[in-house]
């Protein structure tokens, strides 16, 4: 017995991480699916921990909250398309490795433009007013993105902090406008604009409040996908993003591409502001963007800027958010619970990418 033990070589395993060469699509999606399931489990533990309710009824509550009634379903759809629109808007900038953290501000400025038109342009005929709202909100958003774009192109100014700071400048502009627009006076809020006349509201169509929102988002999503994939400008953006040296070498005017791309990106975010104000809330406040400018960054990143992927991720996040808002009110919690849930979901989804790109290997080491 003793001899036998001596004869067995001691084996030690050493773990180390190896980069994967290629991974099959099936396997990658399987890993993501596991991450989603795990994130749902952990969220359930958190919710159950707080509410002390049966987890099944909690998830029932989430589903009920997201799609339980017609109204809730359409609210969820409305939120999905807005988030998707912002994410789509961010794609050109991200493809260029331009960290546009300023979607919040670009949305707000677009929202200010459309609210201003709704308030001061009541007498303009509806089709013209709507066109103006769309065009002006895009121009306003564009201006907000143009500034950091220009400085990045010329002085290589750090774009993430620049855009971030512009968010707060935009927020101050909103509070500044609220001083003049507040209704009723003293409320420090704008209230529903043109509640009676519905001037500047996106019209109902096919009996649906949000038809125009959906049309706008679908059109923009398809347009940007085609632009990025098939156009010469889209190709230039990809080259600049991968390597500015190569771009220079190819004779691409890097500064021009940078500024142009940032204008496109921020114009779409500005448009999202109009979609929110004219197409959904019909009012404006500092929380009009409501952090969606940041969530959209995560959406675009996690979906690897693939339009279908972004739709999927937006749907998942919004579904869970709307659902948790419902449970929060059902169990007397506050609505910030949904931010915690969103955070947990995102952590898992980001984390799982590691297992798609790397794998952990064991190496056997024999000791003499």
Partner 1 sequence: MSTNAIELRGVTKRFGSVIANDHVNLTLEKGEILSILGENGSGKTTLMNMLSGIYFPDEGQILIDGKEVAIRGPKDAFQLGIGMIHQHFKLINVLTAAQNIILGLSGKSRLDMKKVNKDVSNLVEKYGFDLNPEEKIYNMSVSQKQTVEIVKVLYRGADILILDEPTAVLTPQETEKLFAVLRKMKEAGKSIIIITHKLNEVLEISDRVAVLRKGSSIGVVKTSEASVESLTEMMVGEKVDLDIQRSKPKSPEKRIELRGVNVRNIEGQDVLKDISFVANSGEILGIAGISGNGQKELLESIGGLIPIESGEILYYPPNDAPVEKLSEKTVQEIQKLKISLSFVPEDRLGMGLVGSMNLTDNMMIRSYRGGRRFFADRKSPKLLAEHIVAKLEVATPDVNTPVRRLSGGNVQKILVGREIATRPNVLMVAYPVRGLDINSSYTIYNLLNEQKEKGVAVMCVGEDLDVLLQLCDRILVLCEGKISGIVDANKSSKEELGMLMTGGRKVSSK
Partner 2 sequence: MNLLLTFIVAAIGQAVPLLYGASGEIVTEKSGNLNLGIPGIMYMGGISGLMGAFFYEKSAISAGNEPNALIGVLCALIGCLAASFLGGLIYSFLTISLRSNQNVVGLALTTFGVGFGNFFGGSISKIAGGVGQISVKKTASFYQTFFPETMKKIPILGKIIFSYGFLTYLSIIIAVIATWYLTKTRKGLNLIAVGEDPAVADAAGINVTKYKYGSTLLGAMIAGLGGLYFVMEYLGGTWSNNGFGDRGWLAIALVILALWNPVNAIWGSLVFGALYVLYIYLPGQTRASSELVKMLPYVVTIIVLIMTSKRNKPENQPPKSLGRAYFREDR
* Contacts to partner 2 by CB under 8 A: 17-19, 99, 101, 151, 155-158, 160-162, 164-166, 168-169, 172-173, 175-176, 179-180, 291, 294-295, 297-298, 301-302, 332-334, 336-340, 342-344, 346-347, 350-351, 353-354, 357-358
For residues 35 and 351, the answer to whether their CB atoms sit within 8 Å is yes
Q: Name residue 362's beta-bridge partners.
A: 15
Q: Answer with the entry of partner 1, partner 2, none that 124 interacts with (C-beta below 5 to 8 A by kind).
A: none
Helical (H) or strand (E) element with 272: helix 254-276
Phi and psi at residue 210, to the nearest 5°: -110, 20
CB atoms within 10 A of CB 68: 17
Q: Answer with the entry of partner 2, partner 1, none that 211 interacts with (C-beta below 5 to 8 A by kind).
A: none
Choose which of 246, 287, 304, 336 interacts with partner 1 (CB under 8 A).
Answer: 246
Based on the shown chain and the rule CB under 8 A, indicate whether residue 232 belongs to the binding site for partner 1.
yes
Q: Answer with the entry of partner 1, partner 2, none that 234 interacts with (C-beta below 5 to 8 A by kind).
A: partner 1
Residues in contact with partner 1, shown as a per-residue x/- string from 279 to 318 under the rule CB under 8 A: ----------------------------------------
The Cα-based distances of 11 to 16, 359, 365 in angstroms read 16, 22, 6
From 13-21, 49-57, 215-223, 255-263, span contacting partner 1 (CB under 8 A): 13-21
Tokens of 92: 């050109």
Choose which of 60, 68, 234, 309 interacts with partner 1 (CB under 8 A).
Answer: 234
Nearest residue (CB) to partner 2, 120 versus 249: 120
Q: Give least dist CB 50 to partner 2, A.
A: 8
d(CA 136, CA 15): 58
Based on the shown chain and the rule CB under 8 A, indicate whether residue 28 belongs to the binding site for partner 1.
no
CB atoms within 10 A of CB 226: 12
Output DSSP code: residue 185: T
Residues numbered 201-230 forming contacts with partner 1, rule: CB under 8 A: 230
Q: Give least dist CB 251 to partner 2, A.
A: 26
Helical (H) or strand (E) element with 360: strand 358-366
Q: Answer with the entry of partner 1, partner 2, none that 157 interacts with (C-beta below 5 to 8 A by kind).
A: partner 2
Choose which of 93, 111, 239, 325 interacts with partner 1 (CB under 8 A).
Answer: 239
Tokens of 129: 């007013």
CB atoms within 10 A of CB 35: 20
Helical (H) or strand (E) element with 252: none
d(CA 99, CA 241): 11
Q: Answer with the entry of partner 2, partner 1, none that 166 interacts with (C-beta below 5 to 8 A by kind).
A: partner 2
Choose which of 242, 347, 354, 360 interacts with partner 1 (CB under 8 A).
Answer: 242
From 89-97, 132-140, 247-255, 296-304, span contacting partner 1 (CB under 8 A): 247-255
d(CA 351, CA 347): 6
Q: Give least dist CB 367 to partner 1, A.
A: 7
d(CA 282, CA 168): 22
CB atoms within 10 A of CB 332: 7
Nearest residue (CB) to partner 1, 187 versus 246: 246
For residues 174 and 104, the answer to whether their CB atoms sit within 8 Å is no
Based on the shown chain and the rule CB under 8 A, indicate whether residue 238 belongs to the binding site for partner 1.
yes
Name the residue with tokens 């010329």.
Answer: 154
For residues 302 and 308, the answer to whether their CB atoms sit within 8 Å is no
Cβ-based burial of 233 (10 A; exposed 0-12, middle 13-18, buried ≥19): middle
Choose which of 4, 251, 332, 334 interacts with partner 1 (CB under 8 A).
Answer: 251
Binding site for partner 1 (CB under 8 A): 14, 16, 19, 21, 230-236, 238-239, 242-243, 245-246, 248-251, 363, 365-368
């Amino acid at each position: 017995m003793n001899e036998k033990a001596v004869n067995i070589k001691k084996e030690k395993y050493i773990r180390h991480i190896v980069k994967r060469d290629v991974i099959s699509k099936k396997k990658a999606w399987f890993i993501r699916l596991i991450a989603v399931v795990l994130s749902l489990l952990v969220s359930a533990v958190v919710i159950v921990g707080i509410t002390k309710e049966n987890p099944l009824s909690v998830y029932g509550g989430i589903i009920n909250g997201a799609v339980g009634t017609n109204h809730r379903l359409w609210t969820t759809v409305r939120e999905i398309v807005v988030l998707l629109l912002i994410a789509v808007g961010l794609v050109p900038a991200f493809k260029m490795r331009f960290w546009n953290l300023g979607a919040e501000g670009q949305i707000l400025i677009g929202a200010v433009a459309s609210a201003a038109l709704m308030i001061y342009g009541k007498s303009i005929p509806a089709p013209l007013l709507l066109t103006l709202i769309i065009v002006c909100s895009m121009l306003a958003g564009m201006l907000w993105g143009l500034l950091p774009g220009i400085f990045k192109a010329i002085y290589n100014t750090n774009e993430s902090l620049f855009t971030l700071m512009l968010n707060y400048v935009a927020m101050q502009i909103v509070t500044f406008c609220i001083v003049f627009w507040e209704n009723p006076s003293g409320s420090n809020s704008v209230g529903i604009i043109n509640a009676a006349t519905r001037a500047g509201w996106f019209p109902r169509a096919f009996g649906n409040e949000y038809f125009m929102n959906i049309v706008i988002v679908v059109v923009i999503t398809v347009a940007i996908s085609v632009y990025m994939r098939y156009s010469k400008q889209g190709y230039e953006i990809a080259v600049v993003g991968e390597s500015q040296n190569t771009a220079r070498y190819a004779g691409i005017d890097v500064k021009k591409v940078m500024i142009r791309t940032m204008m496109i990106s921020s114009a779409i975010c500005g448009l999202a502001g109009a979609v929110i104000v004219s197409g959904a809330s019909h009012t404006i406040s500092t929380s009009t963007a409501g952090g969606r400018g940041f969530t959209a960054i995560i959406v675009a990143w996690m979906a690897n800027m693939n339009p279908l992927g972004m739709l999927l991720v937006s749907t998942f996040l919004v579904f869970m958010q709307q659902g948790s808002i419902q449970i929060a009110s059902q169990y007397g919690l506050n609505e910030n619970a949904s931010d915690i849930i969103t955070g947990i979901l995102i952590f898992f989804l980001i984390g799982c990418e590691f297992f798609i790109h790397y794998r952990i290997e064991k190496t056997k080491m024999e000791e003499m």
